[in-house]
Amino acid sequence: MKKTLKDMDFKGKKVLVRVDFNVPLKDGKVTDTTRIKAALPTIEYLIREEAKVLLISHLGRPGGEVKEDLRMDPAAKELANLLNKEVKKADDSIGEDVKNAADNLKNGEVLLLENSRFHAGEKANDPEYAKALASLADLYVNDAFGAAHRAHATTVGVTEYLPSAAGFLMQKELNALGEVMENPERPFVAIMGGAKVSDKIDVIKNLIKKVDYLIVGGGIANTFLLAKGYEVGDSLVEEDKVELAKELMEEAEKIGVDIVIPEDVVIADDFAEDAESRIVKSDQIPAGWQALDSGGTESLKKYKEIIKNAKTVIWNGPLGVFEMEKFAHGTIELAKALAESDAHSVIGGGDSAAAINIAGVADKMSHISTGGGASLMFFEGKELPGVAALDDVE
């Protein structure tokens, strides 16, 4: 058991909190505040406990140098609006000026440090950068589940120098994901979509041992169709993963797990919104055409039947190129079917969460994870570095 906020006394202490404010920006404004809102319970608790709150996050991929368009100022502004309170903003994450700003904080005040990835030492988990960060505070809290799969200075390095605990969001994520992986109500269904099998191999291998049904969709499904000996035209496939797909299907069959591949797919003559498209049987994709949505009529019928009877469903990755409206049908319909079911539903962040939002059914899901990569690593059965590094309850 990892320490949580309730295991620490914060009054008058400077607390370095790793948050996930890696938010989308347009014209210097935050376009989606979901991640900032997710951190509010922890931040508000620390304010009430009279802590001096120092927040640190990465934003985008500045490559270890200062990029003016990736400063944290827009996030500071949004956070101030949400807290209805002043949020001070530092121009760096370490250094004398930052140390002075931290030392001058009063109980209950909030200081947002600059983008951690402006320093190459963040991604390299450099001890010098981690030590400089840790010197700003007395305690450390990790509330950034979305970055917990990274062994960076702000997620792992600082724990070498400060007593540490999990924030409320981190705790909520670990409980929600842990519950479905350790003690799912059955039938237990996993939906794995997205572009590449290679991204999901370890997840599929781990899930086969746990689920009753594994629905494969998106580009992943094409590789399984090829493994079945079907012609897939110009569809996205990973030729070097065909043997693996065969092995996974054989293994699943041995242990009585049903790997559900599409019976029919939406194909197009071009990877474009205005392409000509039609639904064909999965073994009848003509040369020059590509499958862009694995939610054809018959496929959806089967998926919906499985979901209707399911008690637990986890979902990671869309069924097709859902960014194009023409090829979003399968993903949207599956989201609606899940919303109407009685199943306990856990959505694995990233594109899956975006698809659920597009379908307008986010409020009908049991849990939508804030971390795509982190939830995938969790579904693989691996320990997340940012969680492993936190102090255990004695």
Residue 314 to residues 12, 242, 336, 341, 382: CA-CA distances in angstroms?
41, 24, 14, 13, 17
The catalytic residue among 13, 18, 35, 241 is: 35
Cα separation of 98 and 90, whole Å? 6
Name the 3-class secondary structure at 191. strand
Is 196 noted as a catalytic residue in this protein? yes
Is 35 noted as a catalytic residue in this protein? yes
The catalytic residue among 60, 95, 108, 373 is: 373
Please name the residue ranges forming H helices in the chain.
34-48, 73-83, 96-103, 120-123, 127-134, 168-182, 201-208, 218-227, 242-254, 297-309, 329-340, 350-359, 372-379, 385-388
DSSP 150: S
Is 219 noted as a catalytic residue in this protein? no
The catalytic residue among 296, 348, 350, 372 is: 350
Q: Are 291 and 285 in contact (CB under 8 A)?
A: yes
Residue 384 to residues 55, 139, 146, 150: CA-CA distances in angstroms?
21, 21, 11, 8
DSSP 32: -
**C-alpha closest to that of 74 among 145, 23, 122:** 23
Is 117 noted as a catalytic residue in this protein? no
Q: For 56, what's the count of Cα atoms within 13 Å in the CB-facing half-sphere?
A: 32
The catalytic residue among 3, 88, 99, 196 is: 196
Q: Which residues are catalytic?
A: 35, 196, 350, 373
